[in-house]
Structure 1
Amino acid sequence: MEWQTYGRRQVYGSPWVEVWLDDVDVPGIGRIDHHVIRMPRPSVTSVVTNDVGEFLLLYRHRFITSRWGWEVPAGWADPGEDPAAAIAREVEEETGWRPGRVEPLVEYDALAGISTMHFQCFHATSCERVGMPTDRSEAARVEWVPEAEVAKLLVSGQVADGPSLAALSYYLGPHRLAGV
């Protein structure tokens, strides 16, 4: 059953997020105004690994949830910017490490029932240290974390950020099981 859309109007907009009311006909329910959060720019994340089995993670505070936790590098692609180039830029800005290789890992829709938020996740390797992070607001610490410790962080809830949880879990699970 497919919903029919009759129109939409913007309630709020900024370069980061837009809120719309879509006039939709929901089968079995009828016509309603459905809130939709649209993201004007593509979201990118990356699992960054080195050749000794470590993962490059950021430890940071998120004011909205008032929570500290570990995250993978992430950000937005600028208009017209290639997503792989965008995540390479974000990794360098946030960590001070420049990826030598960036390959697609997985794509997913984070909140498909209410948002257009679409994540493209990459796997970055062969990183070279180029200096301190240029975006100092991103993390309190940037560390290479051994794989066994990453698994413990995931299980203990210390990786609570959705994009980070999805990226790391996918990499350690289905990606590995598929032998990619």
Structure 2
Amino acid sequence: MVEQHMRWKNLTEHTVYENRWLTVNLADVELPNGKHLDHFLIRQRPVALCAAVNPHNEVLLLWRHRFITDTWGWELPAGVVEADETVAQAAAREMVEETGWRPNQLEHLITVEPTNGLSDAQHHVYWSRGAQWVGEPEDYFESEKREWIPLARIPDMVTAGEIRSANAVAALLVLHNRLVR
């Protein structure tokens, strides 16, 4: 049995800011020693990502700039799950919108919590063997370029800082371990 002596308890929380993307709450947290702590947290909608792998064991990635950190890096197509769609539908939609490629049958790969000390965000990664070109991406402004990158290069790209996004790092390393021999 797992001991749970270090469990923090969220006694109450209230919203201090809210928009369609996120809610910032302030929680009254009781620590294991009985002391209380005011802790800000971010509540977010689920995020869906999609990785398509072609017959050459290459994965379709986006090269994009993130203004918040002022960094460039390779990422997977991703976006929030809308109320009227499943997570898998959102992953497929994001792939088409951001790359112009429609993934084949999707399979759940992993779910990660990239900032679970601050946020309840869950990022659900799906993948497919192959994708079909359907035309130029609607959201062309999301990335500078889109390329099929060999999975064999992924560990070195992560080490070099070319892939920085935590959800992409986790997903691509899992795919590398699963598909590259």
TM-score (normalised: structure 2): 0.90
Q: Distance in 2 between matches of 1:5 and 1:158?
A: 37
Corresponding residue for residue 31 of structure 1 = 36
Question: 1:44·1:87 contact (CA, 8 Å) conserved in 2?
Answer: yes
SS state at 1:159 partner: coil
Please list every run of 5 or more consecutive structure 2 residues that lacks an aligned counterpart in the other structure: none
CA 1:21/1:130 → structure 2, altered by over 3 Å: closer, same or farther? same
- The one of 77, 92, 99 equivalent to 1:95 is 99
- Rounded to whole Å, the distance in 2 between the matches of 1:20 and 1:56 is 36
Q: Which stretches of structure 1, 4 residues or longer, exceed 3 Å deviation after superposition?
A: none
Distance (whole Å) between structure 2 residues aligned to residue 170 and residue 162 of structure 1: 12
CA contact (8 A) 1:45 1:74 kept: yes
Structure 1, unmatched stretches of 5+, are none
Q: Which moved more, 1:73-82 or 1:86-95?
A: 73-82
The alignment partner of 1:163 has SS state of helix
Contact 2:112 2:167 in 1 (8 A): no
Contact 2:51 2:76 (8 Å CA) reproduced: yes
Looking at structure 1, the residues matched to 95 and 144 of structure 2 have their Cα atoms a distance apart, in angstroms, of: 15
Evaluate the alpha carbon distance shift between residue 27 and residue 160 of structure 1 in structure 2; reply closer, same or farther with a 3 A threshold: same
Q: How many residues matched?
A: 176
**Cα deviation 1:145-176 (Å, max 9, x = unaligned):** 12233333222110011111111112213x45
Taking structure 1 as the reference length, the TM-score comes to 0.91
For 1:25, the aligned partner's letter is E
- Percent identity of paired positions between Structure 1 and Structure 2: 36
